């Protein structure tokens, strides 16, 4: 019977890596999520359109709301779920990543992945701002053990 000769730290790092890979893969299955950080010592949540590129989560947000100013340069949490889109019999899941958030300038290919932007947000013409999050920590919660079978290749 083979034994795992890796150290406990190496096994923990592999588990964390698998968890982060699963989290990013799940985020890639949705189009929108919520970013959380604080502004002037008060917490807030803001919606964002996202794409996943090479394990990094890129966000498109409305400049008019100003939330990007609090996010850029800060550690943020970003989460999404399938709570309102799961089909009957499909397990529910929610995912959250935490990482450093920075302003980014997306490539033409990345802009294409975002798809069409809204024309107006809160009565203001939509002007996009783009942010990137490099996941450092992640959490995934699911019901009925459905993710284990569906994402065996990651776990």
Calpha distance 70→37 (Å, rounded)? 7
Q: What is the pLDDT of residues 29-57, one digit of tens each?
A: 999 999 999 988 899 999 999 999 999 99
Give 3's DSSP letter. Answer: -
Overall average pLDDT of the 70-78 stretch: 96
Overall average pLDDT of the 108-127 stretch: 96
Calpha distance 61→130 (Å, rounded)? 6
- pLDDT at 89 exceeding the cut of 80: yes
Overall average pLDDT of the 80-90 stretch: 90
Domains of the chain with bracketed CATH: 8-150 (2.30.110.10)
Question: Which string of DSSP letters, residue by residue, matches 52-86?
Answer: EETTEEEEEEEGGG-HHHHHTTSEEEEEEE-TTTP
Residue 99: phi, psi to the nearest 5?
-175, 175
Question: pLDDT category, 7, cuts 50, 70, 90?
Answer: low
């Amino acid at each position: 019977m083979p034994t795992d000769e890796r150290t406990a730290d190496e096994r923990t790092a592999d588990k964390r890596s698998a968890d982060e890979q699963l989290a990013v893969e799940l985020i890639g299955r949705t189009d929108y999520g919520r970013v959380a950080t604080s502004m002037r010592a008060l917490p807030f949540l803001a919606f964002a359109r996202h794409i996943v590129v090479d394990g990094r989560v890129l966000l498109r947000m409305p400049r008019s709301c100003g939330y990007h100013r609090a996010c850029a340069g800060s550690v943020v949490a970003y989460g999404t779920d399938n709570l309102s889109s799961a089909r009957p019999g499909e397990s529910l899941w929610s995912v959250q990543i935490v990482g450093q958030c920075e302003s980014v300038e997306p490539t033409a290919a990345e802009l294409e992945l975002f798809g069409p932007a809204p024309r107006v947000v809160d009565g203001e013409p939509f002007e996009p701002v783009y942010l990137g999050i490099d996941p450092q920590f992640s959490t995934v919660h699911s019901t009925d053990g459905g993710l284990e079978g569906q994402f065996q290749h990651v776990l």
